[in-house]
Amino acid sequence: MRYVSTRGEVPPLSFTEAVATGLAPDGGLYIPEKLPYLAPFFPQWEKLSYTELAQAFFRVFANDIDAEVLNGHIADAYSRFDHPQIAPLHRLDEQTQVLELFHGPTLAFKDFALQLLGNLYALQIERTEEPINILGATSGDTGAAAIHGLLNKPGVRSFILYPEGGVSALQERQMTCTGADNVHPIAIRGSFDDAQRIIKQIFGDLEFRRTYRLSAVNSINLARILAQCVYYLYAWFRLTDAERRDLEFVVPTGNFGNVLAGWLMHRMGMPVKRFRIATNQNDILHRLFSTGEYRQEPVLKSVAPSMDIQIASNFERFLYYHEKGESRRVRELVEAFQTKGAVAFEQFDADIFTSSSADDATIAQLIREVDSRYGYLMDPHTACGFAGWDKPCHRVVLSTAHPAKFPDTIEAAVGRKPRSESLDSLMDKEIRKVVLEADTETIRNYIQANAETSN
Ligand SMILES: *Cc1c(COP(=O)(O)O)cnc(C)c1O
């Protein structure tokens, strides 16, 4: 299988190369040259455990890695989850189930991708005997998950930018209290979008990028999207025929990464009626899917900070399919958006997507309502998925974080704090981070001074 850039100006790569590269040199994102049709495998795959399913799935996409080696890395990645099913479904009632994606080491769904990606980087370093420096921007959970996926791996250093004061205290502790020497959390005086802009600019400097063997870990990495496809299929296998016929996946999303994975799985043969894009008050995706206009607005801080995003990086992958694989159109649209901050589509085809948004008050209300009806505490991101949930259909709401990651919001809503032992144990550890200006040159200098190099 080969992977092409959405902007079509660079040659196709193998899986391993595309993963190591991250952002394509033409600024685009890697996608499979041709999406495989996987439905014929389903009868064999249906009974597999989560890990076995991930192994079977990746054998299709990562066919330039020895199958035994790949299986070992996948088994290792999911061995650090604390639930035997890895991604269990929790039933609330006849209609609604919650797919719990928070049983990994940092208690958020990003562990699914980043535990595996960390192992893929290690594999790459073994092969090439060259170090890798990982550069990422985070609004909270990505950074923690990335750092934990790469913790103490030889030859890897991680530089993770996040908005100072823009992530929860616990998220910050997950990033800064690891005690590991290969971790560089950088708090910038700016927003998440500033962090992403800086990362893009640094990656745009091809010389610098080559010299320091920089790779991206944010949701633009191909491996992340593919790793996320697996839990959709795993959940789908566990539904009844009646549920499958009338199925809505509800996906809290900001960067379009999580929901894109589900939609790709659908394109590869998993029948689904609808995907609902559930945003917080930063509703650029909701506005796009309800009006056909993609317009950037200022980022507003919300109680669901991992979705405080106004530029959905992964949207470009959807755009590629929306424009029927015409890279030239993708480039035009991306450029128009970059210069004007808005694109109005003449005919926007929402495909099987619907959308909703929830402001902070609604999130609190929904947390309370679900708690009092079912005794089930959910985190504020997951709560966005419950906006408009009274409409009848079978739905699976993806729960993207453990409620204990956001204790203050939960306490304000229901009057008690959710607990998690692994988070409690962070509170007496030492914080190690640097605070820098939101300025590309400053960040570049810092990386230069601290990067892992071959000699
Ligand atoms: C990252 C994150 C999201 C949004 O994921 P996307 O990649 O933007 O789809 C939602 N909830 C939590 C808890 C997250 O960490």
- Per cent of the chain over pLDDT 70 is 99
pLDDT beyond 90 at 309: no
pLDDT band at 65 (very low <50, low <70, confident <90, very high): very high
Evaluate if pTM is beyond 0.85: yes
Q: Mean per-residue pLDDT for 187-198?
A: 92
Which amino acid residue places its CA nearest to atom 12 of ligand 1? 400
**Where does residue 277 rank: exposed (0-12), middle (13-18), buried (19+ CB within 10 A)?**
buried
Average pLDDT of the segment spanning 51-75: 97
What is the model's pLDDT at position 8? 97
Q: Which segment of 37-51, 93-107, 208-222, 428-442 scores lowest on mean pLDDT?
A: 208-222
DSSP state of 401: B
Cα–Cα distance between 231 and 109 in angstroms, integer?
A: 10
Closest ligand 1 atom to 102 CA = 13
Q: How far apart are CA 422 and CA 105, in angstroms?
A: 9
pLDDT tens figures, 216-251: 776 688 999 999 999 999 999 999 999 999 999 999
Return the residue whose CA atom lies nearest to atom 15 of ligand 1.
141
Mean pLDDT for 141-157 is: 90
Pick from 34-48, 298-312, 376-390 the range whose average pLDDT is largest. 34-48
How confident is the model at residue 152, as a pLDDT?
87
pLDDT reading at 308 higher than 90:
no
Q: Is 421 exposed, middle or buried (0-12, 13-18, 19+ CB in 10 A)?
A: exposed
Q: Rounded to an integer, what distance in angstroms lies between the CA atom of residue 67 and that of residue 54?
A: 12
Q: Is 210 exposed, middle or buried (0-12, 13-18, 19+ CB in 10 A)?
A: exposed
Query: Which mutation among 260, 264, 277, 307 tests ligand 1's pocket best, with the greatest number of atoms within 8 A of CB?
Result: 307
pLDDT classification of 97: cutoffs 50, 70, 90? very high
Q: Is the pLDDT of residue 434 over 70?
A: yes
Atom of ligand 1 nearest to the CA of 145: 15
Distance between Cα 388 and ligand 1 center (Å): 20
pLDDT at 229: 98
User: Ligand 1 centre and the CA of 400: distance in Å?
Assistant: 7
Q: Is the pLDDT of residue 262 over 80?
A: yes
- Give the chain's mean pLDDT: 94
Split at pLDDT 50, 70, 90, the class of 392 is: confident
Report residue 311's pLDDT band, with 50, 70 and 90 as the boundaries. Answer: confident
pLDDT given at position 48: 98
Question: Cα(306) to centroid of ligand 1, in Å?
Answer: 5
Tell me the CA–centroid distance for residue 399 and ligand 1, in Å: 10
Q: How far apart are CA 411 and CA 413, in angstroms?
A: 5
Q: How confident is the model at residue 20 (pLDDT cuts 50, 70, 90)?
A: confident
pLDDT at 415 over 90: yes
Residue 371 has pLDDT above 80, yes or no: yes
Of the given ranges (91-95, 194-198, 212-216), which has the lowest mean pLDDT?
212-216
**Exposure b/e, 116-130, CB count within 10 A at least 16 = b:** bbbbbbbbbbeeeee
Domain locations along the chain? 86-104+223-419
Which residues carry out catalysis?
110
Q: Atom 7 of ligand 1 has which residue's CA nearest to it? A: 257
**Nearest atom, ligand 1, residue 259 CA:** 9
What's the pLDDT score for residue 389?
Answer: 81
pLDDT at residue 388 tops 90: no
The protein residue with its alpha carbon nearest to ligand 1, atom 5, reads 253
Q: Indicate which atom in ligand 1 lies nearest the CA of residue 258.
A: 9
What local confidence, expressed as pLDDT, does residue 219 receive?
66
Question: What are the beta bridge partners of residue 158?
Answer: 134, 183
- Give the tens place of pLDDT for each residue, 1-16: 999 999 999 999 999 9
pLDDT at 352: 96
- What average pLDDT score do residues 401-430 get? 92
Q: Report whether pLDDT(289) > 70.
A: yes
Has residue 67 got a pLDDT over 70? yes
pLDDT digits (tens, 9 = 90+) for 315-345: 999 999 999 999 999 999 999 999 999 998 8
- pLDDT band, residue 276 (cuts 50/70/90): very high
Q: Considering only CA atoms, which residue is closest to atom 4 of ligand 1?
A: 253
**Domain 86-104+223-419 = CATH 3.30.960.10:** no
Pairing of strands 89-91, 96-100: antiparallel
pLDDT of residue 38: 98
Q: What is the pLDDT of residue 218?
A: 63
- Ligand 1 site residues (CB inside 6 A) read 108, 110, 141-142, 219, 252-258, 306-307, 381, 400-401
The SS3 of residue 136 is: strand
Interval 200-210 mean pLDDT: 91
Q: How confident is the model at residue 139 (pLDDT cuts 50, 70, 90)?
A: confident
pLDDT at 375: 96
What are the phi and psi torsion angles at 189 (to 5°)?
-85, 80
